[in-house]
Amino acid sequence: MDKLIEKEIKETISFIKSKTKLKPKIAIVLGSGLGDYTNHLKVEATIDTSTIPHYPKSTVEGHKGKIIFGFLRDTKPKKSVPVLAFQGRIHYYETGDIRTVLFPILVAHQLGIKILFLTNAAGGVNRHFHPGDLMLTKDQVNLTFENPTAIINGNKKINKPIYDEDLIKMIIKIAEKSNVPLSEGVYVGVKGPSYETASEVEMVRRIGGDAVGMSTVNEATLASALGMRVAGISCITNYATGVTSAKLDHEEVTFVANMVKDRFSKLVSSIILSTNNL
């Protein structure tokens, strides 16, 4: 790894470890409008990322910039799962520096995270999708044209699925059991920050995309390369441009994400509680 980042990560980790003794194996990155999920945790420590040495700053509304250590509790059977939650993330378009996007993933890895859930708000490209739907990521296309593994291993080739196949199977079963409708599809990550044109959305559809968004793909690739099991859940907050004639704005995205939060939370909690047995 880049020597400077390695040094920074060390300082970041020692700061975080001075704030909590909790050692979660599971982490979740909460995307636009989904940050309130942490209300379901019994919080042990909340760290404002602006106080953490070297931690990049998020500037997007709906992204709180906190990392939270807490327990997710279940009553039947009684158990308590330690969880690390990232409230908000840094998007590539905010800084133009891929290292700021990847920094939290390197931190998660150094903290000993083995399973990473990446969530996001996304536009529905698949014509069967509607605002408020949840989509499990089967695979992704990275249209940011970055390759984040360069940060850790130079030019070594990695060839394995990014999204963990056992997790995918398990999540589909859990969604069925908990009666939470869940679609599956391919997430296409673009740089943004402006929304796509109708022609770009048509391109995304033709290359096999079901949903489009401005995050996740680089984080997922790096996390998987680092050996974490990765799963992705998109909250479809809007029809992507051109799917309907409706105009699109960030307010709508956070509004719909907010609307879905009960279903989203129910699904995420059931997944985390089962994942603990994986």
135 is catalytic: no
Look at residue 34 and give its three-state secondary structure: coil
Q: Which of residues 61-120 bind ligand HPA (CB under 6 A)?
A: none
**How far apart are CB 200 and ligand HPA at their closest, in Å?**
9
Of the listed 27, 108, 175, 214, which one is catalytic? 214
Q: Is 202 left (phi over 0), alpha (psi -120 to 50) or beta?
A: alpha
Structure token digits, residue 65: 């910039």
215 is catalytic: yes
Of the listed 27, 85, 108, 121, which one is catalytic? 121
Q: Using the minimum distance from each CB to ligand HPA, give the nearer residue, 9 or 190.
A: 190
85 is catalytic: no
Q: Does residue 210 touch ligand HPA according to CB under 6 A? A: no
Q: How far apart are CA 31 and CA 98, in angstroms?
A: 17
Of the listed 91, 109, 122, 187, which one is catalytic? 91
Q: Does residue 121 touch ligand HPA according to CB under 6 A? A: yes
Burial code of 98-132, b = ≥16 C-beta within 10 A, e = fewer?
bbbbbbbbbbbbbbebebbbbbbbbbbbbeebebb
**How far apart are CB 62 and ligand HPA at their closest, in Å?**
10
Q: Using the minimum distance from each CB to ligand HPA, give the nearer residue, 56 or 209.
A: 209
Sign of the Cα pseudo-torsion (239, 243, 245, 248, in order): positive
Distance of CA 34 to the CA centre of its chain: 10
**How far apart are CB 241 and ligand HPA at their closest, in Å?**
6
The two beta strands, 26-30 and 211-213, are: unpaired
**How far apart are CB 121 and ligand HPA at their closest, in Å?**
4
Contact 253, 208 (CB under 8 A): no
Of the listed 120, 238, 269, 274, which one is catalytic? 238
91 is catalytic: yes
Q: Does residue 222 touch ligand HPA according to CB under 6 A? A: no
Look at residue 76 and give its three-state secondary structure: coil
Q: Which of residues 136-195 bind ligand HPA (CB under 6 A)?
A: 195
Of the listed 120, 183, 215, 234, which one is catalytic? 215
183 is catalytic: no
ω into 104 cis (within 30 of 0): no
As annotated, the active-site residues are: 32, 63, 91, 93-94, 121, 214-215, 238, 250
| Site residues for ligand HPA per CB under 6 A | 121-123, 195-196, 212-214, 237-238, 240, 248, 253
